Structure 1
């Protein structure tokens, strides 16, 4: 192997990897990749940068100006959020609602007050202060964003943008979320249902409430339910929640009977069939905005219109609680079926894969009296 060419006398004190062309322009050449970076004509400035970068290449510390150019530009937290979001969308099959929800969380991190910082310069104090402020107004959102931020920085670790073990989110605590939304009692349900029945053109909401209570499904599944799903003595439901291709599939017997209201699933589905021709179980019966008779009712309408009649019912609100919502019908259904047929039945009907999840739904949050039953002797 030939020996390296001796440096010219005037360049003997130059730092390694610093070069000059015939016109006096200085440049740095990466010793591993051969990539070059122009440094101008100021030797003192160029030499200082190169010495620092040479040390950094050995121990990954030092001057950021030239190093950032070597690393293809500054990687700010905001920029990394863009890359993280694109990678998230491409990874596996995801539903539009899931992408939208996660997108909101990523956007919260992207718009954090320190997002313009280089990602490796974001501190644990930055994260903790930001999350604490968010939790004061939106504790649930703060909890979700905390989880997402941890994942964002974890992926940055994996890609080498921050040192391993230096995830600034890791030492912080996830905000404790106290659910303040009121559970719906059967009396609440009946009170709202009475107000709905008094109104004209609200048969669809009556049907939606009864169907939700008797079959225990989410508003998304109620909104998209078709009469064609009723066949062979069952209501066939492929739940909308879950990873694409792994959604829970249920066959619910039409004979399913809920003692608390004295109706079966078949009874409710028959009530949903009216003089309006429609493929949709829950459908408009008159023109409302863009909704035409027979067209499906949007899931958001379930919640918004329910709120109107809930307020008309003037339900008694427990201290420190916020008003109940349409979604709480699912929890009420779980509790009523647990009472009638047991926890395992409720778990199967709701499509839960774990008893822990069902337990969250069957917890009345202190709003119902629990009877102490005597076993028969």
Structure 2
């Protein structure tokens, strides 16, 4: 934001007021007081599961209140610097006001996102799976590129990533990548990425340097809280164990620590091989299976196959949600929202995805996508 005007600051103030309303900030302040009182009660930690739930709700309420208060302080500082800068014709103060306004705009986008996440699962962790689609071996390279892009995006947001399965491709890339993302609103944010992603570029493996189009699919599932029950009949499971392998085919260990679980009634297959032991791999695979079965049950109850994952489509032509074009021009464009950028490197190599993810959530809540 190179320049700042009174109209700009007034618009930010109005936006802040709207966000306060979305978040019911006065109620959230009351929640903080009530939950703090509850956490100080004798015997609070006697029920550990209940105590953890209360503390998580308290942390969330405090974050909302602190975010609004910090935004209000930043707005006050921006207004003060602007008014004094206009009175004294001090360019440094006007520049400071512009910087504060730009920072405040980003803060408000974050607060707006929180207000759009109405499902409790939105505020929790996510399990992301990337699989190659049409495009032959190069789709496996595209799968790995997306995997790296999401790792960088998570780094930018301060989220932690645990790689659960990264199966090497036949020649290049990955045949599958599954990882858990832990952080505030991780699932709510990342469900914007669910769908087919299309890459257009000069083939790095073609001696004739022809243009190649490849596809990869991204699935995003919530990590279910402990209090969500999903019943699974052990007789419905086939559990296979095998040697775990690292990227490139190197043996991770000499024991059958990797686990593949097949749910026979649905045909769902979950593989995990990156944990230290067979027990850990099995526990994680069961967690993913429960998340997928939970998702299916929600879809069945709502009679909407896109309750969490969106409609099933082939990972190929005509089904992409976003295109990444490296040749003959450079552009990343989300086909749902119209949000686009010509800075492809910032997206693929620096993980600069916020404009697309925020744009998706604004679009999905009726606020429009292109900014």
After TM superposition, is the score higher than 0.5? no
TM-score, length of structure 2 as denominator length: 0.23
Name the structure, 1 or 2, with higher relative contact order (CA <8 Å, separation 6+): 2
Structure (1/2) with the larger strand percentage: 2
Bigger-Rg structure (1/2): 1
